[in-house]
Each structure stands twice: as structure tokens, then as C-alpha cells.
């Protein structure tokens, strides 16, 4: 199978916001407890945070991390997680039917974020609570001192404010499963009033309003139109969420799902433009795709277990063990975000540790990279710069979500500072290698090329504690320079990074 790709310096999409490669930690299962936090672990820092996990997060170069939820935030009292640990209450978490010890709160998470080299993206509770609790939380986190909440922060051991810039106005408020679920009109009014109060404190903060939980919601996309009509002048982003499933084990259909993702982004982008035009506004609202991942391996089993258990603390929950097939899907999803980086400015893989996550831990033991860690790592490290509008000529196939799915899914990024062009490519064909010819126009002279490949003959291959590198990247010598073009053959069902030095 032949594929011709042309990159031209004059055809660009947008400068990529580094937060496109963000992540997410929720008080859910073992994401926090025995995930990032485990006092007594051999690598634990004095504050109880696992140093081995911090090292893996730093390796990912995670620019931002959303916290504390997720569904958890919609019944969360942020005040429960401050002050002396021995005085913090244990609460019942209605979202995941577990108990929450509150041993990790904003102070502990902030210390972890600083050690992990990531910025905080905080969510406020607009489910069971509202404007007053939200503005108090912002004051506690961001005000220097001289007020009730900022002085309480100082009393609790943090003199300087954290100056968190990005705030989520609730979570998935369109979902009937959400504690405090509201109609679009109800939520739009509350979110707008909360945003106004937060902006009265600091009008430079960035605010994210809730969009649809997924594109199959009955209220989509009317939800976006109603909520944005109520909040457009006060917010900077609207959130979207999507999870990818393959219950029927049909790889070609599974790998076509990013076409549905692309339409989802395009539709909401159109709604944004409609509301902006209706209001005659000069303000630009973008998309924060702050929950995404493959999620189906343990989902049905865990839904049944949750209904039967009796409020355990930090149980094993939603711990999908990812396979090589999921590498291909995650690669296609990230490529979609790069190609839509003009409107998708923030994205957060859900989640970061143990719970549907690229990093796994053993209590008291080791940590390791899941298969999906690798495409995220390569994109985060080398996908910074300007997204390119590529011309791609490749065979296509018919799927349930699109009549023309390209066998080659590819995105390109120009890093002018580093003097590189980087292409991330997924061969969706089950049996044919893709012979790719990359033509590079008006970028200067090609001085070198390297090819990094992730390939395994078994789509079900997984990384485990005992075999952590079963699926991992390797360098090849397959890429060949030919003047101002590069030729490389990539195997069927494979993920590649082709990096050109200029």
C-alpha cells in the first residue's frame, strides 16, 4: 500500500498549546491512594508521595493535571481536605460508592504537582454545592493573604498562593448519573453566575464550562448551544469527553472511531461559531477535551462490583490493562487533537495512574508503563510546535462511522526552535505495510531522519509488572532520505514517529 504525504511550510493549522498533552487525577479507585500517594512505600517522599510515580510523570512531561474530578467533584467538600490530617473527616463518595479519607487534599496535590513538574487544573463542585463554595475555594488557592480563606491557607502551612490559572465549572453536568445533575438552562445560569464571581476576583483566570459528556447524549448538541448562550461572555473553554470501546473486538471499526471524534469536535466548533455570531462577539471560546481514553476492558465487570460492595476505601476499580491495539487507538486520538489544535487547546487523558491509566503501580512494590504510555510520551515530548495541514493520498476503507477512513492516520508538527519536523503515523491496515513517501516543501534542507516504531504481532499483547517492556518503542533504520523527501515503510497495524532534522 502506497501513501504520499506532503508537508508545506505555508500550510499550517495552529501553534499547539502544550496543554494538549495534559492528564487527569480523580479520587477514584487507586488513582490517588497507592497510586500517587502511599506513605511507607520504599520510594515515598516525606509527604507520602511515591517518587517512582513522580519520575514516570516527569518523563511524560505532563503540562497540566486536572483534579479532583470527574464525577467525584460533584459531591466534594474541598474544605474536608485541608488542615491537620488527623482531623479530616471520612466521607462517603456517592459517585463511586467508596469511602474517602481526605488524606490527600489541595495542599498534598499541589506539592505532588510541583514535584511532578505539572500545573494544576482545578474543578469546583457545581453539583451538590455552588457559587459560594467555588469562590471560597478560588480565594483559598489564589489570594496572597489578608482574607479569611487565604489566611487559613497560610495557617495550614502554605504562605504563597498557588496561582492556579485554569478552573473547571463542575463536571459532566449534562449527565443524569451526576450528583446535582441539571438541565442546560439551570446549569448555564449557575455556571455564568459562578464565572462572574470568579472573574470579580481575577478576570485573568481561564474558565471551562461543561459541554456534553459524549456525542451520543440525547441533549447533544443543544446542550452546548444553550450553555454557551448563557455563559459565552464569561468562559474560555467548553469541555468535551469521549471514551473509546471495542467490545465486539473488531479492530477496523475500533480504529475508525477517531472519525467520530473529529465530527464531535467539528460540530461543537460550529456551535461555538454560531453562538459567537449570534452575540456579535469578538471573544473566542475554545475546546477543553479534558477526559479521553480507551475504556472498556473492565468497565462492565466493575459496574456490577460497585453495586455490591460496602463503601471500600481506594479499591481496585477501572484498572484496564491495555494492549497493543490500544496503542494504535491512542495514537489516532492524539493525531486528531493535533489536527484540530486550532480549536482543541487543552486535552487530558483520563486518567494518569492505575484507573484507566498509562501508569500502573503495585502497593508497596513497583510501577510500570502501560502500552498506551508510549504514544502519549512520544507526542508529548516531540509534538510541540506548529501543527501542519498535510496533504495525504492513501487508500481508504468503509466503516460504520465513515465511508472513507484512511488506512494511514498521520499528523505533523514543525518545531522551529528545535529545527525538526515530526510525523506521528498509524497504519490501520491489518495485512499491508504502508510505503510512505514524505515530501517536505520550503522547510529548508533535510539533514537527517529517524524512525521510532511501536509494533507487536499480537494485538492483545500487554505490559505487566513482570514484563514491563513487552510493548515499547524501538529505533529502526527504515527511513531513507531522498533529496527533500523521506521514504519509510511501516508494518501493518503499527505506530510510528518519523522525525526529520532540518
Distance of CA 35 to the CA centre of its chain: 18
* Main-chain dihedrals φ then ψ at residue 13, nearest 5 degrees: -105, -60
For the chain, what's the residue count? 502
Whether 291 is catalytic: yes
* Main-chain dihedrals φ then ψ at residue 436, nearest 5 degrees: -95, 130
Q: Which of 108, 172, 224, 259 is flagged as catalytic?
A: 172
Cell numbers linked to 291 = 477526559
Q: To which H or E segment does residue 394 belong?
A: strand 391-394
- Residue 404 in 3-state DSSP? coil
- What is the rounded CA–CA span in Å between residue 131 and residue 170? 11
Q: To which H or E segment does residue 292 belong?
A: strand 286-294
Strand pairing category for 166-169 and 206-210 = parallel
- What is the rounded CA–CA span in Å between residue 173 and residue 169? 9
Q: Is residue 29 a contact partner of residue 354, using CB atoms and an 8 Å limit?
A: yes
Q: Which of 139, 206, 224, 291 is flagged as catalytic?
A: 291
- The CA distances from residue 148 to 143, 196, 348, 423, in Å, are 10, 21, 33, 51
- Catalytic positions, written as ranges: 172, 291
Amino acid at each position: 500500500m502506497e501513501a504520499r504525504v506532503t508537508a508545506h511550510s505555508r500550510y499550517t493549522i495552529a501553534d499547539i498549546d502544550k496543554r494538549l498533552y495534559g492528564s487527569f487525577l480523580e479520587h477514584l479507585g487507586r488513582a490517588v491512594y497507592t497510586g500517587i500517594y502511599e506513605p511507607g512505600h520504599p520510594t515515598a517522599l516525606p509527604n507520602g508521595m511515591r517518587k517512582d510515580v513522580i519520575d514516570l510523570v516527569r518523563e511524560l512531561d505532563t503540562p497540566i493535571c486536572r483534579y479532583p474530578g470527574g464525577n467525584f467533584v460533584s459531591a466534594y467538600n474541598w474544605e474536608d481536605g485541608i488542615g491537620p490530617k488527623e482531623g479530616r473527616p471520612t466521607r462517603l463518595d456517592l459517585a463511586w460508592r467508596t469511602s474517602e479519607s481526605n488524606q490527600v487534599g489541595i495542599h498534598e496535590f499541589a506539592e505532588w504537582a510541583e514535584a511532578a513538574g505539572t500545573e494544576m487544573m482545578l474543578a469546583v463542585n457545581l453539583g451538590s454545592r455552588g457559587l459560594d463554595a467555588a469562590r471560597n475555594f478560588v480565594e483559598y488557592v489564589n489570594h496572597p493573604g489578608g482574607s479569611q480563606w487565604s489566611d487559613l491557607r497560610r495557617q495550614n502551612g502554605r504562605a504563597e498562593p498557588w496561582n492556579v490559572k485554569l478552573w473547571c465549572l463542575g463536571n459532566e453536568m449534562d449527565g443524569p448519573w451526576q450528583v446535582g445533575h441539571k438541565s442546560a438552562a439551570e446549569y448555564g445560569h449557575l455556571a455564568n453566575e459562578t464565572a462572574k464571581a470568579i472573574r470579580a476576583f481575577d478576570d485573568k483566570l481561564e474558565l471551562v464550562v461543561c459541554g456534553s459528556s459524549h456525542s451520543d447524549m440525547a441533549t447533544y448538541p443543544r446542550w452546548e448551544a444553550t450553555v454557551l448562550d448563557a455563559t459565552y461572555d464569561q468562559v474560555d473553554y467548553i469541555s468535551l469527553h469521549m471514551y473509546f470501546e471495542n467490545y465486539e473486538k473488531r479492530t477496523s471499526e475500533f480504529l475508525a472511531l477517531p472519525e467520530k471524534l473529529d465530527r464531535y469536535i467539528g460540530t461543537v466548533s460550529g456551535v461555538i461559531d454560531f453562538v459567537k455570531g449570534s452575540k456579535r462577539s469578538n471573544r473566542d471560546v475554545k475546546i477543553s477535551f479534558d477526559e479521553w481514553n480507551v475504556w472498556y476492558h473492565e468497565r462492565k465487570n466493575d459496574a456490577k462490583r460497585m453495586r455490591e460492595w460496602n463503601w471500600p476505601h481506594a479499591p481496585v476499580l477501572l484498572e484496564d490493562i491495555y494492549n497493543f491495539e490500544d496503542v494504535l487507538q491512542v495514537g489516532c486520538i492524539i493525531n486528531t487533537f493535533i489536527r484540530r489544535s486550532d480549536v482543541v487547546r487543552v486535552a487530558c487523558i483520563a486518567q494518569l495512574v492505575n484507573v484507566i491509566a498509562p501508569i500502573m503501580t503495585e502497593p508497596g512494590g513497583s510501577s510500570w508503563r502501560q502500552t498506551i504510555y508510549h504514544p502519549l510520551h512520544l507526542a508529548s515530548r516531540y509534538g510541540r510546535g506548529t501543527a501542519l495541514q498535510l496533504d495525504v493520498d492513501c487508500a481508504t476503507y468503509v466503516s460504520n462511522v465513515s465511508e472513507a477512513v484512511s488506512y494511514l492516520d498521520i499528523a505533523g508538527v514543525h518545531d522551529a526552535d528545535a529545527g525538526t519536523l515530526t510525523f506521528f503515523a498509524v497504519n490501520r491496515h491489518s495485512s499491508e505495510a504502508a510505503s510512505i513517501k514524505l515530501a517536505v516543501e520550503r522547510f529548508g534542507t533535510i539533514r537527517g531522519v529517524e524512525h521510532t516504531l511501536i509494533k507487536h504481532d499480537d494485538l492483545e499483547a500487554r505490559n505487566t509488572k513482570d514484563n514491563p517492556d513487552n510493548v515499547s518503542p524501538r529505533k529502526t533504520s527504515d527511513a531513507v532520505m531522498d533529496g527533500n523527501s523521506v521514504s519509510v515503510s511501516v508494518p501493518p497495524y503499527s505506530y510510528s514517529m518519523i522525525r526529520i532534522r532540518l
